[in-house]
Amino acid sequence: MEKSVISEWERHGCIGVLTINNPPQNYLEGFQLALLEDLKRWTNDASLKGMIITGKGRHFCAGFDKEDLFKMTNRELLLEELRKNNAIPYYIEELPIPVVAAIAGVCFGAGLELALSCHIRVCSEKVLLSFPETGYGIIPGLNGAIRLPGKIGACRALEMVLAGKIINADEALELGIVDFVLPSKKVFDFSLSLLEKTVNKNSIDVIRSIMKSVNNTRKMPFEAATEKETEIFANLVFARHKMLQERN
């Protein structure tokens, strides 16, 4: 096992597991989940086919500790810290492997923003999700108000963020914030099994190509994304043809 800030990293075969370990509520420490360079080192492995992010103990992540947040008196230092930590969910979102958030207990603020950057969200029946920041006179700090409308639409996102509404597992599933709901004790095992069944029979090249196409839909116009997918398809066909020729 390796560690970085409040995160622990270990491998389950071809699946990497990042565990947020800062009990009891797994607050981010000084706004940090892990150092970006450590996360890059852990995930820059040709044998890695998928990743799970989970929380140690009862909770996923309660976000920033507001007491630490409001101790910041230097605006430029705060901006520097936020920009540095904004790079983490963006990096996760752009990974060329599927990332599952295995969520239990409290998933608030920056914790929910982290979960939204994952490609698949599995949660427990007793999970609670919220952006409570407006109650402190601020807004979500890691682009939650940007990512959430893409999942549930602007109307529902505004209601959730502006009201600081706490939603349960059933409502989260209905809204489309999460993809699966299970008993707490089954969340991690289901997440691991889901990833293994999804990626085990596929090559790294196929997995990365599919993830690239999926990620392109978020950041490119439709026509540009389809052109890129056509190129990816042609590259895979050519690579397959070349491999078969070499075998013969």
Q: Which residue has the tokens 């995160």?
A: 7
Does the annotation mark 113 as catalytic? yes
**In the prediction, which pLDDT does 96 show?**
96
**In the prediction, which pLDDT does 247 show?**
75
The span from the CA of 123 to the CA of 103, in Å, is 4
Q: In what order do the strands lie in the sheet with 2-4?
A: 2-4, 7-12, 15-20, 50-55, 99-103, 120-124, 180-182
Torsion of CA 126, 156, 213, 55, to 10 degrees: -30
Catalytic choice (10, 37, 81, 113): 113
Does the annotation mark 231 as catalytic? no
Question: Which residue, 180, 213, 218, 194, is CA-closest to 50?
Answer: 194
- Cα distances from 131 to residues 19, 170, 175, 232, in angstroms, run 21, 17, 15, 38
CA 44 centroid distance within chain: 17
pLDDT tens digits for the chain (248 residues)? 999 999 999 999 999 999 999 999 999 987 789 999 999 999 999 999 999 999 999 999 999 888 877 888 888 988 888 888 899 999 999 999 999 999 999 999 999 999 999 999 999 999 999 999 999 999 998 999 999 999 999 999 999 999 999 999 999 999 999 999 999 999 999 999 999 999 999 999 999 999 999 999 988 999 999 999 999 999 899 888 777 777 76
Cα Rg of the chain, angstroms: 19
Do 231 and 243 contact (CB within 8 A), yes or no?
no
**In the prediction, which pLDDT does 131 show?**
96
The span from the CA of 82 to the CA of 10, in Å, is 27
Residues ≥6 apart with Cβ < 8 Å to 95: 43, 51, 211
Catalytic choice (2, 67, 94, 133): 133
CA 194 centroid distance within chain: 16
Domain definitions of the chain by residue range? 2-199, 204-247
**Beta strands 99-103 and 120-124: pairing type?**
parallel
Domain 2-199 has CATH 3.90.226.10: yes
Overall residue count recorded for the chain in this entry: 248
The span from the CA of 80 to the CA of 15, in Å, is 32
**Apex 33 CA angle, 93 and 10, nearest 5:** 80
**129 C-beta neighbours (distance < 10 Å), count:** 26
